[in-house]
C-alpha cells in the first residue's frame, strides 16, 4: 500500500483511487508520484507534515492542522469502537455456541428420544424391533435340530424381527 493522493490544503493523505476529494476540507486532491507515495507511508506525525510543507512550498495553517488531527482522532475512535463491537459480537457468538453445546450434551442425557439412539439396531435393515435370542430358544433348537441349529445362533444376541438377520 502506498499513499496515492495528498491534500495541498490540509495535508491529508489518501490511499484510495476513487477519493478525488479531501474528506476533511473538500479540496480537490493532488496525485503523488510512486516514490513520494512510498516515502509518505513510512513517515508519520511531525515528520510527515514537514515533508508535506516542503513539498507544497508553504506551511499548513493551524486551522487546517487542527481540522486534520480532529478528523484522524475521530477515525481512530470509530475504528476502536468497531473493534470493540466486533469483539462483543464474537463473545456473544462464542457464548451461544457454548450454550448450544451444553444443551446438546444435556439433551442427550435427559431426552428419551435422543437416548433411544443408543438402543441396538439391525445392521442389515436398521430396524429397532429386535428379539433377544434367549438361551431357551437355543435350548429348544438344540433339542429339535441337534448341535447344527445351536451353532448357527452361537455368539449372536439379537434377531431382527423385520428382516430376520441375527447378529
Ligand atoms: Zn484537505
Ligand atoms: Zn433387519
Average pLDDT along the chain: 86
- Segment (H or E) for 93: helix 62-110
Q: Which ligand is nearest to the CA of 163?
A: 2
Residue 109 makes CB contacts below 8 A (sequence gap 6+) with 115
Of 26, 44, 31, which is closest to residue 3 (Cα–Cα)? 31
Ligand 1 centroid distance, CA of 7 (Å): 5
Average pLDDT, stretch 11-18? 86
Average pLDDT, stretch 132-145? 66
Dist. CA 147–CA 153, nearest whole Å: 10
* Cβ atoms of 127 and 121 closer than 8 Å: yes
435370542: which residue's cell? 133
Predicted confidence (pLDDT) at residue 150 exceeds the cutoff of 60: no
Q: Which ligand is nearest to the CA of 13?
A: 1
Amino acid at each position: 500500500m502506498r499513499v496515492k493522493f495528498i491534500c495541498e490544503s490540509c495535508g491529508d493523505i489518501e490511499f484510495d483511487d476513487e477519493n478525488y476529494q479531501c474528506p476533511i476540507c473538500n479540496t480537490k486532491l493532488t496525485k503523488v508520484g510512486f516514490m513520494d507515495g512510498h516515502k509518505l507511508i513510512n513517515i508519520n506525525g511531525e515528520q510527515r507534515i514537514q515533508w508535506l510543507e516542503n513539498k507544497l512550498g508553504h506551511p499548513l495553517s493551524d486551522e487546517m492542522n487542527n481540522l486534520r488531527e480532529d478528523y484522524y482522532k475521530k477515525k481512530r475512535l470509530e475504528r476502536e469502537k468497531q473493534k470493540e463491537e466486533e469483539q462483543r459480537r464474537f463473545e456473544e457468538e462464542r457464548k451461544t455456541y457454548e450454550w448450544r453445546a451444553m444443551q446438546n450434551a444435556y439433551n442427550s442425557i435427559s431426552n428419551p428420544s435422543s437416548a433411544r439412539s443408543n438402543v441396538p439396531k439391525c445392521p442389515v435393515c436398521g430396524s429397532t424391533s429386535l428379539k433377544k435370542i434367549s438361551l431357551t430358544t437355543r435350548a429348544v433348537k438344540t433339542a429339535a435340530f441337534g448341535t447344527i441349529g445351536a451353532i448357527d445362533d452361537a455368539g449372536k444376541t439379537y434377531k431382527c424381527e423385520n428382516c430376520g438377520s441375527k447378529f
